[in-house]
A = this chain, B = another copy of it.
Amino acid sequence: MARFPDIQQRIRDDILAGELVFGTRVTTAELAQRYGVSQMPIREALRELRGEGLVTMEPNRGARIRSIDPDFVGNIFDIRNALEVLMVRRAARLRTPEQVARMRAIELDLETCVQRQDYAGALLANRYLHQLISEMAANPDAQQLLDRHWLLLAGLWRENKYSPERYDGVINDHRHMIEAISDGDAEAAAILTHAHVLKAKQILLKLIEQRYGSTKPARARRARKAEPPAASADVAD
């Protein structure tokens, strides 16, 4: 039974939700039982998740869930920032009037969503906007990478409740970015985007730090031998 969405998504969600505890060793057999499927789909999913950096696989020792610590999130954001800047720079050069119009439309949609407190809609519109910029840059390979990271970060935002007031800043940033792209000012667009992503990084890092308690576990890198964190993994503050 349970022909739910694909395994990979479920595992990813479970990792981001802390359901699968960070640093745990997992085996294909174990997960196969957990999700009621055979080993092969698990194997596949683990490979792709390794591609996303969520698990590490050592040759004959099983896979290990990657810890979602500030380091990891910071790294992901740095990558995303580099790529997003690359993309917006090209988008500013290649833009067509139609595309600019679509950007404006999406942004308007986002803003009305925020006004009526439809934050799910806003998140979606936000994603569309960034996707459109990616498309405009005509680099499908980079776009693919960004999509992957988006999925990952979306999971984290979901876990660490997004504070609605942040949208004020987001909207303001977007308007300026769109203007720069519309003007074909690649340099301005690049800098604005850089700042935009940097802000998101700051916020998410702060949220994560709060979530894992003020007892910064960042330095507590001692725990090499990985005592399994005592079953109860409910990090709900």
Instruction: Enumerate chain A interface residues (CB-CB to B < 8 A).
Output: 40, 43-44, 47-48, 51, 53, 72, 75-76, 78-79, 81-83, 85-86, 90, 139-142, 144-145
A145, B52: Cα distance in complex, Å: 10
Instruction: Say whether A79 contacts B44, CB under 8 Å.
Output: no
A51, B78: Cα distance in complex, Å: 20
Chain multiplicity (copies): 2
A226, B139: Cα distance in complex, Å: 22
Residue of B nearest to A85 (CB): B82
Instruction: Say whether B75 contacts A86, CB under 8 Å.
Output: no
Q: Out of B43, B79, B140, B144, which one reaches A142, CB within 8 Å? A: B79
Instruction: Say whether A53 contacts B144, CB under 8 Å.
Output: yes
Residue of B nearest to A79 (CB): B142
Residue of B nearest to A84 (CB): B82
Known: A75-B142, A82-B86; 20 extra A-B contacts, CB below 8 A, are A40-B40, A44-B44, A44-B47, A47-B48, A48-B51, A51-B51, A53-B141, A75-B139, A75-B140, A76-B141, A78-B86, A78-B139, A79-B83, A79-B86, A79-B139, A79-B145, A81-B86, A82-B82, A82-B83, A82-B142
Q: Out of B44, B72, B81, B83, which one reaches A141, CB within 8 Å? A: B72
Contacts of A140 in B (CB 8 A): 53, 75
11 cross-chain CB contacts under 8 A: A43-B44, A44-B44, A51-B51, A53-B144, A78-B139, A78-B142, A79-B141, A82-B82, A82-B85, A82-B142, A145-B145
